[in-house]
């Protein structure tokens, strides 16, 4: 499965750990870790990358919350109804939330799609269990995302 990883450039260390876990599980991961892509605006190329992926993951830290680009990426995911996960702090613990849209996948691959999403969910849960975020590095639940 091809996964787009949305995060603030300041959170690259968090994302490298997650990216490695996803790659080890056989997924392809696209992010904007290239230094020339640190624009504040979501470009056409960035939209193409999100569109080409099967699902996205948003690492929502205080840095990401302050990033206009991360907000644009999430808004674009909603606009094109791209399924995505959000990793954030909720009630003093790190939580993984899913945002799934009804139009994703076809009837023939629905069970495989659900299995793939569940595998990603398990990877994210293992990531949150093994990685200790500082209290100020993950923000509390924000209904906008």
pLDDT tens for 47-98 read 899 999 999 999 888 888 888 888 999 999 999 999 999 988 655 667 788 8
| Beta-bridge partner residues of 88 | 95
Q: CA 103, CA 123: separation in Å to the nearest integer?
A: 24
CB atoms within 10 A of CB 21: 17
Averaged confidence pLDDT in the chain: 79
Q: Which domains does the chain have, with CATH numbers?
A: 2-130 (3.40.50)
* Model pLDDT, residue 67: 84
Question: Is residue 4 classed as helix, strand or coil in its secondary structure?
Answer: strand
pLDDT for 134 beyond 80: no
pLDDT grade, residue 132 (50/70/90)?
low
85: exposed, middle or buried (C-beta count within 10 Å: 0-12, 13-18, 19+)?
buried
pLDDT for 103 beyond 70: no
* Model pLDDT, residue 139: 42
More confident residue, 87 or 14: 87
């Amino acid at each position: 499965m091809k996964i787009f990883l949305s995060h603030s450039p300041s959170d690259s260390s968090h994302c490298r750990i997650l990216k490695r876990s996803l790659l080890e599980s056989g997924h392809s991961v696209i992010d904007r870790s290239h230094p020339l892509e640190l624009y504040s605006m979501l470009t056409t190329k960035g939209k193409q990358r999100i569109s080409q992926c099967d699902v996205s993951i948003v690492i929502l830290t205080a840095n990401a919350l302050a990033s206009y680009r991360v907000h644009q990426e999430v808004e674009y995911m909603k606009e094109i109804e791209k399924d995505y996960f959000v990793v954030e702090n909720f009630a003093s613990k790190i939580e993984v939330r899913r945002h799934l849209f009804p139009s994703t996948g076809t009837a023939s691959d629905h069970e495989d799609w659900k299995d793939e999403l569940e595998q990603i969910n398990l990877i994210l849960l293992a990531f949150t269990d093994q990685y200790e975020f500082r209290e100020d590095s993950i923000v509390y639940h924000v209904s906008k995302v």
